[in-house]
Every structure is written in C-alpha cells, then in structure tokens.
Amino acid sequence: MLEKIFPGGSSVTSVALSLAFRILDEKTLRLSPNYDALQTWRFLSHQIRRYPLDLRAHVQRILLTHSEDLTDRMEGSLMDLYLALGNEAGLMLKERMLEQCSPYLSPEAVQFFKQLQTEDFYQGLDREWRLGSVLATGENQKNHSLITVERQVETSHYGSVLEEAQACLEYGQIDIAQELLEQEILAGHNNPAVEQELLNIYQYTRNKDKLNQLTSELIAAGIEPSETWKAQQSEANNW
C-alpha cells in the first residue's frame, strides 16, 4: 500500500517525449538532473494545485528545491505539504521532509515549521504565503480552508487492522498506520501481510531505529522475528 505513495523503481527518459508525459512515469523521489529543475518544479506545482494530496509530487517538488537555483522556493514548497496534510496527518512525512530541508533553511524558518506541530500555530497557515507556495491564499482576512479532508476513523468500519492501516496510508497518515501495525505484531498475531506492510513503512521512511526497537520488543515478549523480518533488519544497516 505504501508503494502508492513512495513507489520504487526507475523509468527510462526519452528526449522525444514532453515533460508532461515523462514526469508522471517517474517513480523515484529524487529526480534525475537530466530534467530542467525549474521547468520540472513548475510542472509539479501545477500537479499539486490540481491534486493537493499527491504526496509523491510534493516530495519530488520539495527535493527539487535543493537545487541551487530553487532554494528560495523551498519554504513555500514545504509549506504546501503541511497545508495539504493538515495538522494531524502525515506527521512522520512532514518531519522527514523538514529534516531534509533544514540545512538549507534559516533557523527562523526551521523554528516556524517545528511550531506547526501544535494546533495553535497551525491556525491561519493558508494565509502565511511564502515564495513557492501554490496552496496558500496570502489573504489577511479569515476565509474557508483550501483543503478539507473529512474521514471518520472507526475500527468497526474495517475488516482488519491491515485494512485500517492501509486506509490511513491512503490519506498520508503514515505514523498512525505504523502504530496500528506495530500493535498488531506485538500482540502476537502472525500475519505476513501485516508484517510486510510495516516493513515497507520502515524501509520507505528509513526508520532503522524503530525497526531495531520493535525487534528488541518482540524478542523480549518471546516472539521470534521471521526470516523476512531478520533479512530486512540486516538490509537496514545500509539505510
């Protein structure tokens, strides 16, 4: 399920095709330097304006601003991710992207985004326009939210924990999905699909520390990690 957000693999770029056809087939988050950075950033901005919850486009666009010519658009690109996900969703993704951008941002900008972890500072964010943002209004007077995602999360609506976790992933709530899957595994419920989904999350978020922590908790609880789990833990040493 997470591969819908962070799919792996690569695609062959043909110079005969326009950017609009090529970029949508790109699965990697860090795009090839063969693409014109500004043109690609503009295309992804248009994509995000149309589809604000396209998380892959958000990440690709933010990472593009690491280019020397686009660093002035980094704050606005990062803020659009916060606007799209809202205050509660996608905490881990927002933290990871802020971590990626911190070396390029001023201390004041880093502090601004860290404050957004609290609801009070999140109020009126859509009016805090910054260069590069396509979702902020920049209006001084209070207006309706640009993006409203309504979702009632009730366990009774899902046939299994895996199904609920996958629904969370579809809305970018990676941290919530991870917690649900971890609780299921620690409960001793042997489900390879649940295990693989959780391992996918650890891999795509490069969360080696949490993988090692849960491994220790499983062993302490008398639960022997599977061979698949052990192989992933070994591979995590290269993250």
Q: Is the pLDDT of residue 4 over 70?
A: no
Tokens of 61: 């666009």
- The CATH code belonging to domain 159-238 is 1.25.40
pLDDT at 17 over 50: no
- pLDDT-based confidence at residue 13 (cuts at 50, 70, 90): very low
Distance, in Å, from the CA atom of 234 to the CA atom of 96, rounded to the nearest integer, reads 22
Higher pLDDT, 89 or 18: 89
Contact 105, 131 (CB under 8 A): no
Token match 């005969």: residue?
Answer: 16
- What was the pLDDT predicted at 130? 81
Per-residue pLDDT reduced to its tens digit, 197-233: 999 999 888 889 999 999 999 898 888 999 999 999 8
Residues 53-107 have pLDDT tens digits of 888 889 999 999 998 889 999 999 998 998 888 877 778 888 899 999 999 999 9
Q: Is the pLDDT of residue 237 over 70?
A: yes
Single out the residue of 96, 150, 27 nearest to residue 78, CA to CA: 96
Handedness of CA 234, 235, 236, 239 (dihedral sign): positive
Rounded to whole angstroms, the Cα distance separating 124 from 194 reads: 38
Domain residue extents for the chain: 2-127, 159-238
- pLDDT of 1 > 80? The answer is no
Determine the pLDDT at residue 118: 61
Nearest-angstrom CA–CA distance, 27 and 19: 14
The percentage of residues in the chain with a pLDDT greater than 70, rounded to a whole number, is 75
Which of 239, 232, 205, 204 has the alpha carbon at shortest distance from 7?
204
Please give the mean pLDDT across all residues of the chain. 79
